[in-house]
Amino acid sequence: MSLDHSVNDLSHVTEADRAHVWHHLSQHKQYETVDPRIFVEGKGLRLWDAKGREYIDAVSGGVWTVNVGYGRESIANAVRDQLVKLNYYAGAAGTVPGALFAEKLIEKMPGLTRVYYSNSGSEANEKVYKMVRQISHRHHGGKKSKILFRERDYHGTTIATLATSGQFQRAEQYGPFPEGFVIVPHCLEYRAQWDVADYGRRAADAIEEVILREGPDTIGALVLEPITAGGGVIVPPEGYWPRVQEICRQYDILLHIDEVVCGLGRTGTWFGYQHYGIEPDFVTMAKGVASGYAAISCTVTTERVFNLFKDDASDPLGYFRDISTFGGCTAGPTAALENMRIIEEEGLLENTRLMGERCLANLRALMDRHAVIGDVRGKGLFLGVELVADRTTREPLPEKQVQAVVAECLAQGVIIGATNRSIPGLNNTLCLSPALIVTAEEIDTITGAIDVALTRICG
């Protein structure tokens, strides 16, 4: 299928973009010699750019977002109907889609009861940091204010969330940062920091060591990605999560799971933490919540935490003194409700598990033919391929070559991603995260393009 874009003057659009748009995460010098890529239309996993080129998008909008695929008329129609009825009211009041989406979401999150709306993953995470700080002031006399975060995890782009970036290159140049954020070691066994058999438990014990060093009464919360995304698609080893939960309970530390990438089906369950039987105190989500059809993020917590903000109604400063203006937009929860309906009715969690297994098997088969593949890992449709210059020493393939593999896939019409200027010396993992509707044929096309690209770039 190819779309007819002749009605639009797309060369003008390209010039307008070149002249006036400041692209995210982009060095603009390149646009003095090449055109910025402008996407015009999408359907399912397919995208078309302003030059009429067709692509298979294996990264759901570049950053794990368009979980149910492009061109969903039912979401557009639901949002349209809601917008003409009521587009907005500030979040101090309720709206119909806000209430109904919260109810539906909570159905899938046993143990959690409250949904706080905002617009981006960064914001959802920063709401937790604010809640933790307020709990510290009101309930712990200023103690338990520190927040632990982990190497290689990422939680957002604002100054406070960057202060919890385990991807150091992202935070570089944006300090000074606020105080009270403390790093713990990562848990990627392929890049092991301890030579032990029970690696998961050992990596979790390393968190306890930091807690004991800092003093348990200084630590309020621990934020972790259930499976690390941009830090290299890190699936925690066996034994890691139960021990983390145990440590949090032992030291009365609130456990905050950042589901901004894993949330809403990406790993084959509604949420990534649900693979591990964890009982979090906070869960944050954004990208896949409405698959990019509207901006929405959620901070979800327990009744226990919620009650800490209403137990003393006589205190005029006792409630959570926070607002997110666009957290009152109705487009977000309307799109999110329809997004969830689609995931359920089309059996997309199951498809994610099946297609994820197929993709993993295809990628593992490529290891026989490409010595440059050091490790293949992932869960559901959330997969990483770590590239190495030498399999024995595990020396990472240089970032330039990794990016050349990505560019070679693009030349074949397949958009994949790679960890990118985030961890010094370790930006060497290809990332795959197609929409949850991906077919077996599309999986084979995607892994086939990687096969060809690795042969062309790495020999």
- Interface residue list for ligand PMP (CB under 6 A): 63, 120-122, 125, 154-157, 225, 229-230, 258, 260-261, 286
Contact (Cβ atoms closer than 8 angstroms) between residue 284 and residue 256? yes
Would you say 150 or 202 has its CB closer to ligand PMP?
A: 150
Shortest distance, CB of residue 134 to ligand PMP, whole angstroms? 21
| Residue number with the smallest Cβ distance to ligand PMP | 121
> In degrees to the nearest 10, what's the CA dihedral of 159, 160, 166, 169?
10
Shortest distance, CB of residue 298 to ligand PMP, whole angstroms? 12
Q: Which amino acid is at 455?
A: T
Question: Which tokens in the block code for residue 164?
Answer: 């919890």
Would you say 229 or 233 has its CB closer to ligand PMP?
A: 229
Quote the Cα angle for 416-446-71, to 5°: 75
Nearest residue to 125 via CA among 264, 284, 253:
284
Shortest distance, CB of residue 228 to ligand PMP, whole angstroms? 8
Question: Which tokens in the block code for residue 190?
Answer: 């392929």
Would you say 257 or 372 has its CB closer to ligand PMP?
A: 257
User: In angstroms, what CA-CA distances link 42 with 57, 73, 208, 346?
Assistant: 9, 12, 47, 19
Instruction: State the Cα–Cα distance between residues 131 and 134, nearest whole angstrom.
Output: 5
Contact (Cβ atoms closer than 8 angstroms) between residue 54 and residue 37? no
Would you say 423 or 454 has its CB closer to ligand PMP?
A: 423
Would you say 119 or 447 has its CB closer to ligand PMP?
A: 119
Would you say 257 or 376 has its CB closer to ligand PMP?
A: 257
Would you say 229 or 414 has its CB closer to ligand PMP?
A: 229
Shortest distance, CB of residue 392 to ligand PMP, whole angstroms? 32
Share in percent of the chain as helix, strand, coil (round to 5): 40, 15, 40
Question: Which tokens in the block code for residue 9?
Answer: 């003057």
Would you say 63 or 233 has its CB closer to ligand PMP?
A: 63
Instruction: State the Cα–Cα distance between residues 428 and 395, nearest whole angstrom.
Output: 10
Contact (Cβ atoms closer than 8 angstroms) between residue 165 and residue 155? yes
Shortest distance, CB of residue 158 to ligand PMP, whole angstroms? 8
Shortest distance, CB of residue 184 to ligand PMP, whole angstroms? 16
Instruction: State the Cα–Cα distance between residues 389 and 153, nearest whole angstrom.
Output: 24
Shortest distance, CB of residue 259 to ligand PMP, whole angstroms? 8
Would you say 337 or 431 has its CB closer to ligand PMP?
A: 431
State the CB neighbour count (10 A cutoff) for residue 235. 20
Phi and psi of 430, rounded to 5°? -75, 140
Shortest distance, CB of residue 345 to ligand PMP, whole angstroms? 26
> Please, what's the b/e burial string for 236-270 (b: 16 or more CB within 10 A of its CB; e: otherwise)?
bbeebbebbbebbeebebbbbbbbbbbbbbbbbbb
Question: Which tokens in the block code for residue 366?
Answer: 């490529």
Would you say 433 or 447 has its CB closer to ligand PMP?
A: 433
- The DSSP letter of residue 382 is E
Instruction: State the Cα–Cα distance between residues 315 and 296, nearest whole angstrom.
Output: 31
- Spell out where 88-224 has E strands: 114-118, 146-150, 181-184, 219-224
Q: Which amino acid is at 121?
A: G
Residues making up the chain, counted from first to last: 459
Shortest distance, CB of residue 61 to ligand PMP, whole angstroms? 11
Would you say 14 or 119 has its CB closer to ligand PMP?
A: 119
Shortest distance, CB of residue 295 to ligand PMP, whole angstroms? 8
Shortest distance, CB of residue 157 to ligand PMP, whole angstroms? 6
